[in-house]
A and B are shown apart, each in its own frame.
Chain A
Amino acid sequence: MTQRPDSPLKKRFSFAGIALIILAGGGWFVTRLPSSPFDGAAPQATPDLIARGEYVARQADCVACHSLEDGAPFAGGLEMGTPLGSIFATNITPDPQTGIGTYTLADFDRALRHGVTPDRRRLYPAMPYPSYEKMSDDDISALYAFFMNDVTPVQQAAAQSDIPWPLNIRWPLALWNVVFTTGQTYQTDPDQSEQWNRGAYLVEGAGHCGSCHTPRGMAMNEQGLDSSDPDFLSGALLDGWFAPSLRGDGAAGIGRWSEDDLFAFLSQGRNDHAVVFGSMTEAFNNSLQFMTDDDLRAISVYLKSLPGQGPGWQAQPATVTSLVEAAQSGLPGAETYMANCAACHGRDGLGQNEWIPALAGATSSQGTEPASQINVTLNGSGRVVADGMPDSYRMPPYRDRLNDTQIAEVLQFVRSSWGNTGTPVDTDAVADLRMRTDPASVAPIVLQMR
């Protein structure tokens, strides 16, 4: 028997040594503070910078999650659902105890663009840092100047998340970031115009449009964070609403919309094709309408450049145009439509100019996901406030007037009339959304995103 050069014991020790080094390195990696270009930098706070920061806060719509409807601005509190349990949006007023009062500019930057708090905890990507990481250094320091100098500090501790151990361990998110974020600010595309690049910067960055409009993968990652990816902004189901494709898709996207249509939608909340509804109402009320015309133009130009797929909507004449015809037609849902919907949306489904949306050709009338139509029929639409003026016409809730079968049938009628190509609506899907959008039910929707 010959002697082996290394005894098994020694081998085991060297394996352990390597494992230890990897562990130590990994441990350092997942708990480290990433570097920030602002490390050691002195923050500025000129009136111009603060004003710019306020504008950036509008672009990023911080208030959407970090405020409650009746609460102080930016004091946090919104409950947000994740697949693991609920988390609560934090207080981002400059209160030193419960807010971000002690954050340096570099700390602020790390939270915003890397999802890391000063005490080295990782944020859940409910905070859209995979988008915010594209924001420029200048916008970050402006935003910091605004929050530190122009937001009233509020003492209000954030509620604790109810995610149980060990799922609440956050360091694995450092690895998630390695896979699912680029770690880069927005990179100008030299082949595109300055206006296009500005639009891309706003949509992919602060605007974080993809948080709702891009489908998510197994790890809740957005499948595509920029224009190079065909999944980017291709539409996604979230919180009982289907955020439609913002790409040039024929029927299901905004292929039919002109750049001017898009600009009108973003600046006024309405155009001849659609009126904001569902979760988009808040995005319009709190964020979009405050953007400059130049920025909204840039966003329109950029979105119109995203290629889509599928044939466009082909208008077909109405086959039923009165209550009597509807009753005689025997078509399920036709009578319900004429009695309940036609007064506003038109006997021909064409709506009323930009005031009341057409259902003929509407994005929500196509495709395989009827959640938005079910939801808005059950619960109505929110108040659209443009330039301080609430809108005159709003979709009333029908949850107490129509039962699940009636809603399924009327939507089926809408989705198969006037050239629409939407799939039929299942009564069970209506029943399910009815239950989940009732706050008193056993399983109400906890918003994942706002």
Chain B
Amino acid sequence: METQMKNLVILGAGTAGTMMLNKLHKALDLSRWRLIIVDNEKTHYYQPGFLFIPFGVYNESDVVKQKVKFFPEGMNMINSEIWKVIPEYNMVHLDNGITLDYDVLIIATGSKLAPEETEGLTGKLWKKDIFDFYTLDGAKALAEKFKTWDGGKLVINITEMPIKCPVAPLEFAFLADAFFEERGIREKVHIQYVTPLAEAFTKHKCAEVLGHFLEDKGIELVAEFNTGRIDNDEKKLISWDEREVDFDLLVTVPTNKGADYIETSGLGDELNFVPTDKHTLQSIAHKNIFVIGDATNIPASKAGSVAHFESEILTENILHFIHAEPLAARFDGHANCFIESGRGKAFLIDFNYDVEPMPGNFPMAHIGPFSLLKETRMNHLGKLMFRWAYWNILLKGKELPIGPQMSLKGKILDDIYKSDGFITDEQQITKLSGGI
């Protein structure tokens, strides 16, 4: 019997890896399949919560839990850094000396920060006047800084695209505006939002609304700025084409990259993201390697909500794959993000590969309770509820009342989409009316 056992190995036990583990534990015949998961961290970080730490809304204990708590009963993980995958031999080498053979491999090692990619970023001002909030340490250090900072030029910068959660830096800008107003020093803080994009956000529909918000909140937008280096002495950001932005306090989102072993294994693109079929989530180069979450190179947002929608598609396709069937489930690029806008309000956007964010209600037409592309208090409550849903529903691989395919129900469609003949999915709405 034992000799017939096959191995399904999951690399990475973050948002996507944990969801896949829970789903596959239910879906696979465990008398034939051995599930193995590897991660070098024992702690699960609720990364969306990092945003709130600098402003004292959350602290460390709100965003960390033990990974194993979210695994199926009896499941454990191999706690080691991944060193190298050898696809030709269906083998993974770990730093701790263990070698794993796989029949199916899922890459879910996410994306990490690479501040060392930018000249001067980790120089003498790093963690003194230059901070990131994409790591727990960075967010905590910034919270300390904010406690005593009495104003000046605050620059919020995206070094280069793509980054995970592309709305987070905007949310940071909105929250900073509200935070300094509350502290009574808003007029002493000059806020600039410096981005390589041509406007405030990657999606034009959304950028129109959010760009207007920046203006209303007195946040200056510096667009098409590709950071080349940081001058620590003069406290300047300098772009590749020699434009300059002065700062007193720089909050940056450094270059995002996939894990180093992806490069070592020859599996990645120039940023160590794995070339992946954007519909089936199968890797382009190797049929028995699948990729999910921030680790892929697909043109979808790198977000937890995206990883969740992908996990439903990928579970189906893994089952198809092991039964030698065509990979019938197709991911449509669905992303759903709450955008915190400060003062207890938030936006909500919902889009996919083909459809731009639109105004309307979500998830139910006429009822909502959330409003798309509009700033409401309900959306803010949704954002806070997301943390609860993340720990209690998402990670455990349970169903949310929102299916993986984007629905056009409840959205106010632009004529262009109507005339394109999109068909709304009746089954979708039946599922949604289960309520949130």
A interacts with B:
no
Binding site for A on B (CB under 8 A): none
